[in-house]
Chain A
Amino acid sequence: MFKFFLVKLAQLVPTFIGVTIVAFAFIRLLPGDPILLMAGERGISAERYAELKAQMGFDRSLVAQYFDFLKGLLHGDLGNSLVTHSPVMDEFMSRFPATLELSLFALAFAVIIGLPAGVLAAVKRGKTLDHTVMGVSLTGYSMPIFWWGLLLIMLFSSTLGWTPVSGRISFLYFIDSVTGFMTIDSLIAGDWGAFLSALHHLVLPAIVLGTIPLAVIARQTRSSMLEVLGEDYVRTARAKGLSNFRVIMVHTLRNALISVVTVIGLQVGLLLAGAILTETIFSWPGIGKWMIDAISRRDYPSVQGGLVLIAFIVMIVNLLVDIAYGVINPRIRH
């Protein structure tokens, strides 16, 4: 198992190098120039432009710039934002908990509803329940996040007034940041009202962000369950005189989970991508919104640093998924 882990870890290295190249190149391929954008409509003199360019290091060759970036990266230094001049790492870390909290709630929503829905659909194959679950999940999957978010805001926030429109917590509460998770911090502070407020703010964005993963998980669970239900060992389990519940939940689901876990792992990348839209709609102060701002300002260090960090997180999650595989599937472990 330990060797399995090391091999998987080693496989991450080339991927990570590739990511740094893409992140570095991506922002530079976009038309526009951070210095000109900073200067605004009045423009800037040629001398001042050259001076700033040298100061920011953009006068050097791209290769040299890339290796500077790589060198900094190895020291854990992603450079400073061109706009705020504070370290990119700090900027990222101060916003990341918000995104993580949102993504975890979205994923929990997707798994808690998607998995049982998929199992039920498979067990009731061809019945009304199956068609309903699959129809709803196809609708959810096809729903553009932007539109779906706005629909929910219109219904629950404007018309019904059940949830707030934006932000993470009501302005009435001030909570010390310990974990960066509003829900947990408010519980640590023992402030029940703040916790409910944080939860209220979280519900809609988590549903919006979790809808597509929910649909994917439900469909994958259903097809994987159907496949496993036809296996010989499921017939053996029935031949043992086990209850239907045990046959489904132990013998079938355990095997079906192997492919479902892969899909859940893949959703994490999608969640972080989806977070950019969701955070923009709900003014959620996470890295999605921060990245959008950084791109529009051509803040090179923030964009490349942010991309590398997000990619790194996705890679770590995939590593965890691979390990989860080994735990679920003895054929990989041994």
Chain B
Amino acid sequence: MALLDIEGLSVRFQTSSGLFAAVEGVNINVDRGEVWSIVGESGSGKSVSMLATMGLLPWTAQVTADKMAFDGQDLQQLSSRQRRRIVGGEMSMIFQEPMSSLNPCFTVGTQIDEMIKQHLGGSRKERHERALDLLAQVGIPDPARRIKAYPHQLSGGMSQRVMIAMAISCNPRLLIADEPTTALDVTIQAQILELLLRLQEDTGMALILITHDMGVVAETAKHVVVQYAGRQVEKQDVKSLFANPRHPYTEALLSALPERAGDQDRLPTIPGVVPGQHDRPTGCLFNPRCRYATEHCREVEPVAAPDDPARTLCHYPLEDGISPSPAAAGVARDNPQSSPHREVRP
């Protein structure tokens, strides 16, 4: 039995112009101790799907799923009181903006203590000891002094370490990290990722890492979910994903990696932006940006083939890097010059 088992997760928001499906058809099944990654551009619904799992979306959100279970418990059937016992305790989350994610009115110690008190209990002294241990564990120097600090006295990296200390304070079995390094500078990013992976290994908890950095995915995750415009377009283990991306979007993301650009002068890009609420195309949501798109793609919404383990949401999934799409005839993968989307100077 998977630790986190989600099938067909959808999140809809009631807006002035009707119901907007921010997330649709997301499946994820994380086993104990596994590291998963969810990738996609901004606006792909990565955060929303995980916030829905945690039950942190505002009341305007309508969350539905065919299945949404944590360790066998159906999250949709639990009372809010029962769910709060899981959220924070067994399943915890850290966020994109560490500086604004800590309450400015309370000290670091108070905020960690509050969480331990909620889920583990113990005497004031025991909780204090635990908070000190946790701060040391996440690499905060001089924990005895820092525990009395207010969030505005900490740097972004320190704040994220405090958030991590808080998130792991109750020995969760699953940690969801929502772009934990986006707001930090590059040197700190690596440290925070390293810390998360070390903690994951030490404690054996499962980790879901939301990111838009394929490089991070390659270094960290075992399994990858690719999302585009709220839809899950592909799900594979990391090795096969990098070797054989099935969805053209995944392929495009990978070719945008500097390491893969080879000696080209310019990095390949994916033209256009993720469609928002008002400019959703008909047919496949990726078709305006896909270089293999055909008339069929523009008219008919794709469904994943039942026998496809990657559940690729594409009419013409790539096979060994080659698209069976009729539109692919003029697009040779190894010759970027011929791609209409790639701008390469001689």
Residues of A within 8 A of B (CB): 231-233, 235-244, 251, 254-255, 328-331, 334
The reply to whether B86 and A241 form a contact with Cβ atoms under 8 Å apart is yes
- Whether A330 contacts B104 in the complex (CB less than 8 A), given A239-B93, A240-B166, A241-B119, comes out as yes
CB-contacts of B79-127 with A (<8 A):
80, 84-89, 92-93, 95, 97, 100-107, 114-115, 118-119
Nearest-Cβ distance from residue A206 to partner chain B, whole angstroms: 32
Nearest-Cβ distance from residue B127 to partner chain A, whole angstroms: 14
Residue B144 CB within 8 A of the other chain:
no
The reply to whether B93 and A237 form a contact with Cβ atoms under 8 Å apart is no
* Distance A330 CA – B93 CA, assembled complex (angstroms): 26
Residue B56 CB within 8 A of the other chain:
yes
Residues of B within 8 A of A251 (CB): 103
Q: What is the predominant secondary structure among interface residues of chain A facing chain B? A: helix
Can you list 9 A-B pairs, Cβ within 8 angstroms, ordered by A?
A233-B103, A233-B104, A236-B103, A238-B87, A239-B92, A239-B95, A254-B103, A255-B104, A330-B150
Nearest-Cβ distance from residue A4 to partner chain B, whole angstroms: 16
Nearest-Cβ distance from residue A234 to partner chain B, whole angstroms: 8
The reply to whether B104 and A232 form a contact with Cβ atoms under 8 Å apart is no
How would residues 57 to 90 of chain B score, 1 for a CB under 8 Å from any chain A CB and 0 otherwise?
Answer: 0000000000000000000000010001111110
The reply to whether B153 and A233 form a contact with Cβ atoms under 8 Å apart is no
Nearest-Cβ distance from residue A272 to partner chain B, whole angstroms: 31
Given contacts A236-B102, A239-B56, A241-B119, 19 further A-B contacts (CB under 8 A): A231-B100, A232-B101, A233-B103, A235-B56, A235-B95, A239-B92, A240-B87, A240-B88, A240-B115, A240-B166, A241-B87, A241-B118, A242-B114, A243-B84, A251-B103, A254-B106, A330-B104, A330-B150, A334-B150
Closest chain A residue to B84 by CB distance?
Answer: A241
Residues of A within 8 A of B89 (CB): 241
CB-contacts of B145-169 with A (<8 A):
150, 152-153, 163, 166
* Distance A143 CA – B103 CA, assembled complex (angstroms): 38
Closest chain A residue to B166 by CB distance?
Answer: A240
- Whether A328 contacts B100 in the complex (CB less than 8 A), given A239-B56, A241-B87, A334-B152, comes out as no
Nearest-Cβ distance from residue B47 to partner chain A, whole angstroms: 11
Residue from B100, B105, B114, B152 within 8 A of A240 (CB atoms): B114
Q: Which one of A241, A243, A254, A330 has the highest number of Cβ atoms from chain B below 10 Å of its Cβ?
A: A241
Residue from B55, B87, B105 within 8 A of A328 (CB atoms): B105
Residues of B within 8 A of A238 (CB): 55-56, 87
Residues of B within 8 A of A235 (CB): 56, 95, 101
Residue B199 CB within 8 A of the other chain:
no
Nearest-Cβ distance from residue A250 to partner chain B, whole angstroms: 8
Nearest-Cβ distance from residue B17 to partner chain A, whole angstroms: 18
Closest chain A residue to B92 by CB distance?
Answer: A239
